[in-house]
Structure 1
Amino acid sequence: MVLLSTDGAVARDSGHAASRGVVRDREGNWIMGFGRYLGVCSPFEVKAWSILDGILLLLNKGFRRVIIQTDSLEVVQALNDLGIKESGVTVLRRAQRTMRLEGQWRILHIPREHNLVADRLAKLSLNCKSILQIFDEAPTEI
């Protein structure tokens, strides 16, 4: 069982967005981090992207039992809603479908103050226009 903490950031002046996530073991030890620059994106979409990226990376690394944490109650509720087929947010539908078909996933809402590492990583990604970055070690900036 691993813990995936996700977040996203949207620059107020430009609307540019970045998602990030951190994967830890049960003891809180860093397994990996990741981030993606998304361009112009809504806060809801960026949080959904961070979850989907985390899910796909973890599946690729062989992890099948994951607790996902995000400070977006709206995204948690949407992913737990089985009627999401009508949603216009493709990334949300893809994340939900992947969670349903692959592995054992549990998604939890956490307060923003308990998600500070993922929050800091997301803000760092706004300055890096990389499609997807993977961090085997925690960046010194966090």
Structure 2
Amino acid sequence: MVRNETWCLDNLYTLLPAEAQESLSKIAPQLTLNRADKWIWSPSATGCYTVRNGGTLLHEVWKAPPTGKIKLNTYGSWREPGAFIGGGGLLRGADGGWLHGFWSCGQGQSAFMAELEALRDGLQMAWNSGYKDIVAEVDSRETLHVLRDAASHAFCPVLSEVVKLLSYQWRVDLQWIPRECNATADCLAKLGLDGGILGISYFERPPVEVEPLLLRDSFSAF
């Protein structure tokens, strides 16, 4: 990335808009004595790869789905004053590119309900879009635990709706991921909550607020 003590942007022209290239070029590179950064890649206990620089953990990364599959990421956010919840989710293909997304705002009493409603809305979006082979990722272990507990389904209408969606004629591989890997869905959920407009909004193109997160995910997707 650094050549002759200046940024080398050749490989980023197709990924960064002109204004981002200009901003980056104005930042002086931090040069080390040996003029080289050292990166160490190692899998974590969850199977995700982590990035370490000088022995410091930076973040766990989102991974693109295998060819032929679509990945759904959802997140639910809860704000106790006023008892409002926000949901967010997006679908991406094997190339890591945005396909569809949503954010929502509604009334709710817990972060758990926010997670369930976001998962329900994300699954419904995927089904309505015609996809039949889905990897669905959430960062709530409680959500996965309750989905596996059949005895609890009758006591929660939203949970029953999720279970019904999962029973459709398609394949859904439901997985837990660390929250660091779910940042884009997290951002969408908070945008929906902060907007305060009750209901759900769908997006064929990503909102500008999540574009930096999508770009970050694209670097680590493969």
TM-score (norm 1): 0.91
Find out whether 1:32 has 2:100 as its counterpart.
yes
Find out whether 1:80 has 2:145 as its counterpart.
no
Q: For residue 105 of structure 1, what is the amino acid of its counterpart?
A: V
Q: Is the contact made by 1:18 and 1:126 (CA closer than 8 Å) also made in structure 2?
A: yes
* Count of residue pairs the alignment pairs up: 141
Please list every run of at least 4 consecutive aligned residues from structure 1 whose deviation after the TM superposition is greater than 2 angstroms: 12-15, 80-86
Distance (whole Å) between structure 1 residues aligned to residue 187 and residue 87 of structure 2: 10
Find out whether 1:45 has 2:113 as its counterpart.
yes
Bigger Rg over Cα = 2
How far apart are 1:81 and its partner, in Å?
3.3
1:1-142 pair list within 5 angstroms: 1-86=69-154, 88-128=155-195, 129-142=197-210
Distance (whole Å) between structure 1 residues aligned to residue 149 and residue 120 of structure 2: 16
Distance (whole Å) between structure 1 residues aligned to residue 129 and residue 200 of structure 2: 16
User: Which 5+ residue runs of structure 1 have no aligned equivalent?
Assistant: none
Distance (whole Å) between structure 2 residues aligned to residue 78 and residue 27 of structure 1: 32
- Report % sequence identity: 26
How far apart are 1:38 and its partner, in Å?
1.4
Q: Is the contact made by 1:84 and 1:93 (CA closer than 8 Å) also made in structure 2?
A: no
Distance (whole Å) between structure 1 residues aligned to residue 208 and residue 137 of structure 2: 22
User: Which 5+ residue runs of structure 2 have no aligned equivalent?
Assistant: 1-68, 211-222
SS in 2 for 1:22: strand
Question: Which deviations, in whole Å up to 9, do the C-alpha atoms of 1:1-54 show, x marking residues without a partner?
Answer: 100000011124332111110110012110011111112331111111111111
Distance (whole Å) between structure 1 residues aligned to residue 98 and residue 198 of structure 2: 22
How far apart are 1:102 and its partner, in Å?
3.0
The answer to which structure, 1 or 2, has the higher relative contact order (CA under 8 A, 6+ apart) is 1
Q: For residue 80 of structure 1, what is the amino acid of its counterpart?
A: R
Distance (whole Å) between structure 2 residues aligned to residue 31 and residue 72 of structure 1: 23
Q: Is the contact made by 2:77 and 2:189 (CA closer than 8 Å) also made in structure 1?
A: yes
Name which of structure 1's ranges 46-55 and 72-81 shifts more when overlaid on structure 2: 72-81
Name which of structure 1's ranges 58-67 and 76-85 shifts more when overlaid on structure 2: 76-85
